[in-house]
Structure formats: structure tokens, C-alpha cells
Structure 1
Amino acid sequence: MKALVFAAGLGERMRPLTLHTPKPLLSVAGKPLIVWHLERLAAIGVREVVVNIAWLAECFAPTLGDGSRWGLTLHFVHEGDTPLETGGGILNALPVLGGQPFLVVNGDIWTDFDFATLPREPAGQAHLVMVDNPAQHPHGDYRLDADGLLHHDREGACLTYAGIGIYRPSIVAEWQETIGDAPGSECTPPRFSVVPLQKHFMARGQVTGQHHRGRWTDVGTVERLQALDAELAANG
């Protein structure tokens, strides 16, 4: 299985830290956020990782090299000056990801989630990891039912999408029909979020999920980065 790490974001809420360092390369407990992911991906047998890049793209290769130190091959896919968002990022990376299901992880989260608990391929179009709602996102995203299906109807308590999942390449096959004329869809390459696609296939019972009850942080602000660093340092 290949993996895609989303690392193209502008990191605007993290400035001034991200003026010269892209957010996935910011360090916690002595190593960049993205390296925590690379180590865990290598541990479950992933051998090729696609890293989509845009903001400060030139920083990644000098910091990470070719991936060989982790037993990986890294493929850096440059999206240009403007990130293509999650859906556009998947579509743009497909020539490197190939035709098989792939693992996706946001480069700006930290978690103790064990990637080995993910299915090798989703039952439908996608399988997403959900977490308890953090303080900054109290209402969550999707509802996980007793059968492991995800829903966006909000007819019950929702959990937050962790930014980790297994996707089939076909999730973006008909993106134009789902996205319509949303801003960015007219660009070349197109820029769009994967969220409408997730909801589209949830409505058809084709998105499953699992609830991770361990540690997870969306490192979206300087304060959360500092808190995570302090927590990891205190816990060794």
C-alpha cells in the first residue's frame, strides 16, 4: 500500500512559525510532525509515500531526503503556489499513487493511532478514522453508527474526522459531477475539497469508519503546538 501525506497547506494560523518552515516540518518532541507519520507508516510496511507540497516546497527534500532513512521512497508532488486542497490534491497525486487503495494522513496532526488497525482497503469508497471532538470543533463532523457506517445527517452525536483514512482512487473519478461549479473547480489542475465527495458516498452507504480513542491533536495554532510539545516532553 502507498500513502499520501497532505503537506501543502499555507499554515497561516501558525505564523510567524510558518513564514520560513512549512507546518508539517515544525518539530514536536525533537522531530518534525511529518516524521512521526513516516516512522509509523514504515512500521506497517508502507514503502512509498507521496507528499504533496506547495507552500515553502523547497524545504521538504533537504529536510526529509529521499526517505531511505526510514526504508521509504518519498515522492514529492508539487502543486504550484496555491494548494489544491484535499480533493484536488488526491486527484493530482493519482499518477504516482496508482490504481490501488491508499492511506491518507494530514501532515499537520499528531496522534498515537496505530495505522496497522486500518483495513487494507475500504469496504466502499473510503474508511475514515474518527476521534472525540476537540475543544475547537465541539460539534464534530460525521456520525458513526453501530454498523461502522458514517453519516453526515447529524441525527445524533458526531465525531471529528481525524485526517486519516483509506481511500479508493475512484472516490475522485466523478469529482466534477459532485463538486459542480464550486470555486476552484475551473482551475487547471482543479482545486477542491474531498469533503463533498465524502458526503456524496456516505449518502450511498459507501464510507465506513472507526473510532480512535487515543491521543490526537490537530496542530492548527502555535498554542496547540506548544502544548503538544510540552505534553510529549513530560511523558517522555
Structure 2
Amino acid sequence: MTALEILPRSERRRIGLVAGSGPEAGVDLWMKVIEETKSLLGERYLGDLDGPYVRIVSSPVLGLSMELESNDIAVWPELERAFDDLATQSDFIAIACNTLNYYEHQIKAVPRTAEMISVCDVVEAYLEDRGLSSVALLGAAPVTKMDRWSAYHRLADKFEVETPKDPALLHQIIYDVKRFGGTHSDMMFRFYDLIGTLESETVLLACTELPLIPCGETGKDLVDVTRLLARGLVEKSVLPPVQR
């Protein structure tokens, strides 16, 4: 990549992040946006002035997404308000919550100057680039049900998707990470054991809390969807638009 392929500082696009489900997951995505900016710019990253322009809205109400179907009436208006707030001051927006990406179509149905970057889009691109035909999907209950409430339901049209045998156990692990943190007590061992029940070699960590658990060597290719999302945002921010 040559220097000409990186936008000058004055032309780099602004990034918006919707957080709150949970707040630590928003911080994690923000940190990964910074890390991916440094990675993409390489030696052209000269310090603070090359850091990403990021604006964040973090709403505790969005934590209701863990039980999305029963809380839709409260979650959607709050998410829409957050998007409207960010859209006037951002060029690209992502949600630091896989479950809340269920609302992708509702968000994109309203004309805004800012573009949403969805988790399913970046995951599909990742799987297709690597020629993968099957994958395991780990996330909160609304995600792993793979019904109309799942942001990933369309993955099943292109790939064989394995979900956990005990989704309630995974859902509880996620709740515990939100409450106690990813390094608390036996969190790592519970998650490690759950991963061991999966047959797929590639495992999508499709909940922003899961990458917060340090689980060491599992023998699987654990794909941090938060990292993929951060990379997608940074590419939109610093690379010239693709000419169609």
C-alpha cells in the first residue's frame, strides 16, 4: 500500500459508536478502532494527530437487548435516538453489540448522512474471503436462536452455522461478564469448556462481551467480531472510497 492510498488527515472520515450493551464492550471497540488505525497506517501513524475521530453514545437502556424480543418496545426508540445523535457528527457508525444489529434494516430505512457498518456484513466478508463454508456462532440468546430476531439469521443462507448445544449456559456466561468482568473467578474455564463442545474449527465470538474473556489456547480459530468491525470502520475512515 502506498502513501497515496491513505487519505490525508483533513479528509479522513469520522467514526460513531453506539455503546451501552455493555459499556465495557463499547470501550473495547473504541480501543480496537485505535489499534486498527495504527495497524493500517503503519509507519504513517505519527502520533495523536493520526488518531481516529470517534464520538460515542453509551446508553444503559440498551442493556435490555439481552432479552430483545420482550424489550423491543423500549430498546428500538433508544437505539434510534442514539443513531440520530451520532449521525449529524459522524460519517460511519457501528453498534458495539451484536444483538442490537438486528435493527440494521430499520436503521438503514431512514435516510441519514452517516452510514451504518453492520456486524453481519463484516462477518460475511471475512468468511467469504477465507473460503469457509461452516462456522460456529457464539452469542447472546437472541443471536444464537438464528430466528428473525438474530442479526445473523441470513448467514444460514450461505454457510453451515453451528450454535451452542446449551445456549442458556452461554447466555449466563455473557451476563456474568457484564456483571463481574471477563477475568472473574472461573469465567475462563466455563467458556473454555463450552468451546470444547463445538465441532466447527472456526468460532465467531458474536457477542462483544466474549472477547473480554482470556481463554488461552483452545485448538479453535476464535474470530473476534469486534475486531472485524473495528477494522471495517477504520478502512472506511482512512482509505479512499471504492469507485463503482
TM superposition score normalised by structure 1 = 0.35
* Between structures 1 and 2, the one with greater strand share: 1
